[in-house]
Amino acid sequence: MTFVQARQADPSAPVADAAAAEDFRRFPEGFLWGSATSAYQIEGGANEDGRSASIWDTFCATPGKVHRGDTGAVAADHYHRWREDVALMKDMGLNAYRFSIAWPRVQPTGRGPAVERGLDFYRRLVDELLEAGITPLATLYHWDLPQDLEDTGGWPRRDTAQRFADYALLTARALGDRVSHWTTLNEPWCSAFLGYASGVHAPGRTDAGDSLRAAHHLNLAHGLGTAALRDVLPRTARLSVALNLHQVRALTGEPEDLEAARRIDAVGNRIFLGPMLRGAYDPDLLQDTAHLVDWDDLVRPGDLEAAAAPIDQLGINYYTPAVVSAGGGVREDAHGGGDHSPWPGAEDVAFHQPPGELTAMQWSIDATGLRDLIDRVHQDHPDLPVVITENGMACEDYRPPEGEVNDTDRIAYLHQHLGAVHQAIEAGVPVSGYFAWSLLDNFEWAYGYAKRFGLVYVDFPSQCRTPKASAHWYARAIRRNGISRLP
């Protein structure tokens, strides 16, 4: 069924009668209904138009790091098929699209002037989005650090934060007349701790102290980058950062389990929330990790003030909650295993998989975790709007000969989590939008092409795109600006 056929078959807009209206949950006017992607996961074109190697190109070329030796060299070939992909977005009814800009495509060595051919790709993409009536949201960094910067120390080196600010400035100068929504970093927790502590993400290093240094310099990069964006963008521009906040729950109410939850919350959430939103690291975090890094030497005068550069909204990425206890050595932490912990200062905390339904990533499905995170941010920062910048589910999708991908599990997941967002809005939380992860099946990092998160099925050998049942469901929700009441 095409999107046009789905519209013709849809009898529900507007809601027909009072009984139906009672079972309908309408979102505010102007709500951003979007989907999200990242450059390395979909673009391909890895060696075209001056793009240099990123840390993910190097990581993928290292035997044993990525499932089946997969790489993002071609991915979903979005670099050549962007017009087709924007047409899919328009047909779905998206009014917003969140994408990332590939740093090594724009500034191959992480220094010096921009490569105009790289910027031209994003100019064309943004122009096409605007022509389609789709608001572009640009993310400056989604994990693809230029390899040249990693070779000189990467995120554990202070200079990388300044290099990021320079990159932010030149990119905003090029696209600021077209793009009004900017995100500095996507999931800096993953960049710092999966990249430099557990090593399951690029660049694959396993030094707990360096991971904490990386976290601080990512905080600093966010602040310096935000200030650089403010220098050149119109006052109407909306700036944000996207954090994969962990909804941490203690396995029991026993003091030792509550202490385990506190420690994970410190290094999983507050290590970024504190500097970015309050200009401070919490004392318990510093104490937990003092044996790994000299914070007095690491944090220089002015760093925390810089990190707390004001933003207009906070992006929340959420997939699953974390259930923890003291000890036990269980490592079901949803972050790819490995021999090294991504939780410096909390290496001995045990993670547990809650009962109930799981995604293809073996992540627990629990929309209450999203509601709890939204409530927490609102309670701590009541004047700060939030936007759900990533939320979605990996399924065991396949395309049968007749061509329909019937991903009913993903529809249920989206319905539940959009319901949680609506509950938060009804309670007075200013949630400005929701971005389903992801628009397309893509390169899923260390899992290669083995996991599918897309609303649109991609047959990678042919690059044929097929909207899944979830895409049609989401299109209907967008047209109605709402969803039915949850069962």
Tens digit of pLDDT for each residue in 153-163? 999 999 999 99
* 165 touches 26 (CB < 8 A): no
pLDDT digits (tens, 9 = 90+) for 335-376: 777 789 999 999 999 999 988 999 999 999 999 999 999 999
- Distance (Å, whole) CA 405 – CA 472: 11
Assign residue 302 a region: left if phi > 0, alpha if psi is -120 to 50, beta otherwise? left
pLDDT for res 19: 39
- Distance (Å, whole) CA 158 – CA 364: 37
pLDDT of residue 97 exceeding 70 = yes
DSSP assignment letter at 486:
P
- Distance (Å, whole) CA 37 – CA 444: 11
Catalytic residue selected from 43, 150, 390, 444 = 390
* 393 touches 334 (CB < 8 A): no
pLDDT of residue 402 exceeding 60 = yes
Q: Residue 465: beta bridge partners? A: 458
pLDDT for res 329: 55
**DSSP β-ladder status, 456-459 and 464-467:** antiparallel
Q: Is 329 helix (H, G, I), strand (E, B) or coil?
A: coil
Average the pLDDT over 243-251 and give the result.
98
Catalytic residue selected from 43, 128, 150, 187 = 187
Average the pLDDT over 104-132 and give the result.
98
Q: Output the average pLDDT for the chain.
A: 94
Identity of the amino acid at 27: F
Phi and psi, residue 129, nearest 5°? -60, -45
3-state helix, strand, coil in the chain (%, to 5): 40, 15, 40
In order of 365, 377, 388, the CA distances from 381 in angstroms are: 27, 6, 16
Which of 318, 229, 322, 226 shows the shortest CA–CA distance to 277? 226
**CB-count burial class (<10 Å; 0-12, 13-18, 19+) for 43:** buried
Q: Is the peptide bond before 461 cis (omega within 30 degrees of 0)?
A: no
Q: pLDDT-based confidence at 21, cuts 50/70/90?
A: low
Q: Which two tokens stand for residue 190?
A: 């993953």
pLDDT for res 17: 44
pLDDT of residue 20 exceeding 70 = no
pLDDT for res 323: 96
- Distance (Å, whole) CA 414 – CA 462: 28
| Largest interatomic CA distance in the chain | 65
Q: Residue 186: beta bridge partners? A: 242
pLDDT of residue 416 exceeding 80 = yes
Q: Is 254 a catalytic residue?
A: no
Which of 99, 49, 81, 62 shows the shortest CA–CA distance to 460? 81
pLDDT of residue 5 exceeding 90 = no
Provide DSSP, 240-278: EEEE----EEESSSSHHHHHHHHHHHIIIIIHHHIIIII
Which of 411, 386, 407, 382 shows the shortest CA–CA distance to 396? 407
- Distance (Å, whole) CA 439 – CA 419: 20
pLDDT digits (tens, 9 = 90+) for 252-295: 999 999 999 999 999 999 999 999 999 999 999 999 999 999 99
Average the pLDDT over 181-204 and give the result.
98
* 388 touches 435 (CB < 8 A): yes
pLDDT for res 12: 36
Provide DSSP, 336-402: ---SS-S-TT-TTEEEEPPSS-B-TT--B--THHHHHHHHHHHHH-TT--EEEEEE---B-----TT
pLDDT for res 14: 42
> Angle CA(388)–CA(394)–CA(399) in degrees, nearest 5?
125
pLDDT of residue 13 exceeding 60 = no
Q: pLDDT-based confidence at 328, cuts 50/70/90?
A: low
Which of 167, 169, 173 shows the shortest CA–CA distance to 109? 167
Q: Which residues, in sequence order, are CB contacts of 76 under 8 Å at separation 6+?
A: 41, 42, 43, 44, 440, 441, 442, 443, 458, 460, 463
**DSSP β-ladder status, 431-437 and 386-391:** parallel
Q: Output Rg (C-alpha) for the chain, integer angstroms.
A: 21
Which of 478, 477, 475, 392 shows the shortest CA–CA distance to 486? 477
Which helix (H) or strand (E) segment holds residue 473: the answer is helix 469-480
Q: pLDDT-based confidence at 22, cuts 50/70/90?
A: low
pTM of the model: 0.95
Q: Is 390 a catalytic residue?
A: yes
- Distance (Å, whole) CA 128 – CA 152: 37
CB atoms within 10 A of CB 442: 26
